[in-house]
Structures are given as structure tokens and as C-alpha cells.
Amino acid sequence: MPSKKTLTAEEEVVESLVVDFPTAEPAPVTVKTISIQGKSALVEWDGGARRGFVPVSAIRDGAVSSTTLSDSIPFGVDWARARLASGDLGARLAIQLHSHGIWTKEDLFHNQRGALAALQAAYSVDLSALNTLASQEG
């Protein structure tokens, strides 16, 4: 049988200072459920700026853990990747497009007025860059 190691006074002090902290749960994020199909739900968060698919079982009282959201399957075109004529306005443009209900290439192609309004709101940007990005999506 192995013998237990005798600790020095210094090691005993260090060991007495070791504290086991409980593992913090990821903060819940309030979401809006857009649709449910089978075991998957399309949810929206960040004030409507982001959408993704999560397991229905992950939704608790209208909230989903931040870890689950970061692992969610994104919905729609990543408009922030657009190469815009007026500098890097991609993130601002994405917010404006989402606020006008433009999430997919079909949304863009069927709502050109909304896209123009988003462009105007995000400053002077090139609509052809958005159409090119949307055309590249699967």
C-alpha cells in the first residue's frame, strides 16, 4: 500500500488556500422563436440582428444559453461579408437588412426596395455587391 506523502508547512498553507469554484452556467439569452420544425427551432436574438437553428429542447422560458447560440446553425446570408464600396459598413448593413426582413437571397431578390432602404440607412453602399454575395450562396 503506498504511503501518504507528508506535506511541508508551506505545502499545507498552499493546499488550504485552494478553493473549488463551481462551474458557471452560460448566461441565458432571450430569444424569439420564429418557427419550429421537428426537433429544430429557428430563433432570433440580439434585437433581431441574428438568427440560427437550435434544438427545441435548448429553449427554456424563452431563453437559450449563450453557448448553444454560439453553436447554432446560422440562418440566411452573412451580409457582413459583403465587400462594400464605402468602407467596412458590412456589420451596420447586416443590421439594416435584417430590420427590413432581408435574411436570405430570396428575401433580397424579392425586396429590392427594402434593400435600398437598408443601403440608404447604412450610408452609400453598392447594391450590386449584395446581389453578388447572395448569388454566391448555395
Same domain, 62 and 85: no
What pLDDT is attached to residue 29? 95
Find the domain containing 131 and state its range. 79-136
pLDDT value at 98 more than 90: yes
Q: How many structural domains are present in the chain?
A: 2
- Cell readout for 79 is 451580409
pLDDT value at 38 more than 80: yes
AA identity, residue 8: T
- What integer is the mean pLDDT of 109-124? 87
The rounded distance, in Å, linking the Cα atoms of 66 and 50 is 13
Same domain, 84 and 63: no
Same domain, 97 and 54: no
pLDDT value at 41 more than 60: yes
- What integer is the mean pLDDT of 34-51? 93
pLDDT digits (tens, 9 = 90+) for 5-33: 676 766 666 666 666 666 677 789 999 99
6: three-class secondary structure by DSSP: coil
Same domain, 37 and 69: yes
Same domain, 40 and 55: yes
Of the ranges 11-15, 52-56, 74-78, which one carries the lowest mean pLDDT score? Answer: 11-15
What pLDDT is attached to residue 30? 96
- Stated as kind and residue range, the H or E segment containing 30 is strand 28-30
Residue 17 lies in a domain: no
Same domain, 111 and 89: yes
Residue 4 lies in a domain: no
Same domain, 49 and 96: no
Same domain, 56 and 35: yes
Same domain, 84 and 125: yes
- Give 3's DSSP letter: P
Sequential DSSP letters for 45-93: ETTTTEEEEEEGGG-BTTEEEHHHHHTSEE-S--GGG---TTSS-HHHH
Residue whose C-alpha cell reads 458557471 in the numeric block: 24
What pLDDT is attached to residue 74? 93
Same domain, 90 and 45: no
